[in-house]
Amino acid sequence: MKRGLLIAILIIIVFLIFIALLGGFIYLQFNQEPDIPENAWLELNLMGKIVDNNESMTSRDIAIRDLFYHLRRAKMDKRIKGILIKISGIHTGFSKVEDIGSMIEDFKLSGKKVYTFIESGGLMEYYLATFSDKIYVFKGWDLFLKGVSSEAIFLRNTLSKLGIKADMIHIGDYKTAANMFTEDGMTPAHREALQKLLDDIYTSVVEGIAKRRNIKMDLLRDILENSPLTNQDYLKAGLIDETLFHDEILKDLNSKYKTVNFNTYRQTSSPKPYRGSKKITIIFASGEIHLGKSSSNNKSLYSRKILGSDTLAKQLEWARKSRSTKAVVLRIDSPGGSALASEVIRRQIEILVKKKPLVISMSDLAASGGYWISTSGSKILSHPQTITGSIGVVGGKFVLKDLYNNIGMNKEILKTSKHADIFSDYKSFTPEERQKILGIMQKIYDSFKTIVAKSRNIKKEQVERIAQGRVWSGMTAKKLKLVDQFGGILEAIETAKKLAKIPDSEKISLKIFPKQKSLLDYILELAGFQIKDLNVINNIESEIKKYDRFFPALLMPYSIYIH
């Protein structure tokens, strides 16, 4: 028996040694740093979706989180002599493009060069390229420059054919979040606000191009008005520097330097740009605001991500209690969501700001609930192209009685009080019920305006004029005092450092939330333990149910797709 026990112990020991060796092998495979040549150019491929934060190791999305950190490293790295950016069909907002542009300009302060090669694209891709020293365009394909446009989808007639009625209530003439369900086209308020937003974004883009390419505004507007043109036309006008094939640029670079892919470079750790004793915590807050935990598996039409109040509140609490954290940067990319969840988050920010500064860095979206949680920050930074504001409230439900009748389904309702079935999908709101709901929403709206007036030092009457659910560009929001200054993630870090009274010459370290996923998380993703590629029908179903899940809602007036 003793012998059998000894054999069992030996087997366990051998098994543990095997697991340790296997774990060590896997660790080395994932953590062994590649060699970087002493005379290298960094090649950065920007294609597809660009997001603020990418927690998944398996996703191909390009993240601002990675770019700002590793481009700052490359700026300091004596081995890196320059950057070659290859752009092809990026999908993001102009604010994130502006942020990447700021990172490029920061890199160029080292005296190093940045060249951009546009393989394919339009105004957004070209705008990003203007931050570089040279713009090369693919010789075999013309640029497709044009203005900016937006599309709005309306489902009223579609729902009517299905027997579905949207019974919605909103506070503010411009709070048109539910219009996609209640209207068959744009209302005057919807059209006015969206056109103003597009004009502001276009103006900021044209001004940026004219400044960086040294072209007169009138001439540039005329070129863009008549675009798309040929590459030769753009070459003559000074918009681009040369037409080449990608291999020709690489051949020229490789004759003098070695090229290193950005994904290879990000696997290295030295030099470290942030290694001081005093810490700034950066929290990336992306997605639609819900109660509970954050998640990347959202069925929302507005966003693939859920920004959970519990998750963000805990991160803010950690930053508040951290002795080494001297300031916080909260990076927001959200169209809003639950009013209750937004207030839970805002309250945590309010408590934190009493102890240490918190700087809001707005990305593409910080609207409605996204703006609500911004109000308690020490400073609010946005880009001119950021979509923000939308101070208003929306709520309601979908009535499915006709749909049920069409498919032969019947419902009977029992209740214990007069309004117990107020959110039943089998009936519309009664006039009395609408007044009760309107009263609740009006109270939320008044609170929203009060918070904005107090935090932004604006009279409440003035807030009412700029509220009513209307979205604004960062350009106009700054004039309206809804934001303090222009800038991206790098400027937000510097502002936080200044507010924390950390000397310019003193180095800082960074703590970034959410944490990157572990190797185990990565393996589980590969094994398919996460839900992906939810279909459009499920998305629409989720939108219908959303108004019941978080009533009343602080949502953007519509889903904006700018291209």
3-state secondary structure 70-82: HHHHHHHCCCEEE
Average pLDDT, stretch 164-180?
91
- Three-state DSSP at 508 gives strand
Does the structure show a pLDDT above 90 at 186?
yes
Across 132-147, b (16+ Cβ under 10 Å) vs e yields beebbbbeeebbebeb
Does the structure show a pLDDT above 80 at 519?
no
The CATH-assigned architecture of domain 40-146+227-265 is Alpha-Beta Complex (3.90)
pLDDT band at 553 (very low <50, low <70, confident <90, very high): confident
Does the structure show a pLDDT above 90 at 30?
no
CA distance 118 to 141: 10
Residue 264 near residue 74, CB atoms below 8 Å: no
278-559, superfamily in CATH?
2-enoyl-CoA Hydratase; Chain A, domain 1 (3.90.226.10)
Neighbours of 301 (CB within 10 A): 17
Query: Is it true that the peptide bond before 271 is cis, omega within 30 degrees of 0?
Result: yes
Q: What is the mean pLDDT of the chain?
A: 89
- Which tokens is 551 given? 């009533």
Residue 359 near residue 445, CB atoms below 8 Å: no
- Look at 8 and 489; give whichever has higher pLDDT: 489
Residues 91, 544, 341, 309, Cα dihedral to 10°: -50
What's the confidence (pLDDT) of residue 61?
A: 87
- Gyration radius of the chain's alpha carbons: 26
Query: How far is CA 248 from its chain centroid?
Result: 35
pLDDT band at 13 (very low <50, low <70, confident <90, very high): confident
**Fold: same for 40-146+227-265 and 278-559:** yes
Give which of 364, 287, 283 is closest to 91, Cα–Cα.
364
pLDDT band at 436 (very low <50, low <70, confident <90, very high): very high
Percent of the chain with pLDDT over 70: 86
Average pLDDT, stretch 258-285?
95
DSSP at 282: E
**Any bridge partners for residue 291, and if so which?**
none
For residue range 211-247, list pLDDT tens digits in order: 999 999 999 999 999 999 999 999 999 999 999 999 9
What's the confidence (pLDDT) of residue 229?
A: 94
For residue range 39-80, list pLDDT tens digits in order: 999 999 999 999 999 866 556 789 999 999 999 999 999 999
DSSP at 135: E
CA distance 482 to 451: 12
pLDDT band at 458 (very low <50, low <70, confident <90, very high): very high
Detail the DSSP E strand segments found in 246-322. Answer: 258-261, 278-286, 288-290, 306-308
CA distance 437 to 444: 11
What's the confidence (pLDDT) of residue 3?
A: 65
Between the two ends of the chain, the Cα-to-Cα distance in Å is: 76
pTM of the prediction?
A: 0.89
CA distance 458 to 309: 27
CA distance 205 to 70: 26
CA distance 135 to 129: 6
Across 18-51, b (16+ Cβ under 10 Å) vs e yields eeeeeeeeeeeeeeeeeebeeebbbbbbbbeebb
By CB atoms closer than 10 A (0-12, 13-18, 19+), residue 300 is buried
Residue 484 near residue 366, CB atoms below 8 Å: no
The angle at the Cα of 418, spanning 416 to 421, to the nearest 5 degrees, equals 75
CA distance 422 to 424: 6
The angle at the Cα of 469, spanning 466 to 473, to the nearest 5 degrees, equals 65
The domain locations on the chain are 40-146+227-265, 278-559
- Which tokens is 203 given? 């103006």
Does the structure show a pLDDT above 70 at 510?
yes
CA distance 185 to 179: 8
Residue 329 near residue 374, CB atoms below 8 Å: no
Average pLDDT, stretch 185-206?
95
Give which of 103, 78, 106, 199 is closest to 150, Cα–Cα.
199
**Any bridge partners for residue 472, and if so which?**
388
CA distance 448 to 463: 10
pLDDT band at 543 (very low <50, low <70, confident <90, very high): low
- Three-state DSSP at 548 gives helix
CA distance 498 to 516: 28
- Chain position carrying tokens 């990000």: 266
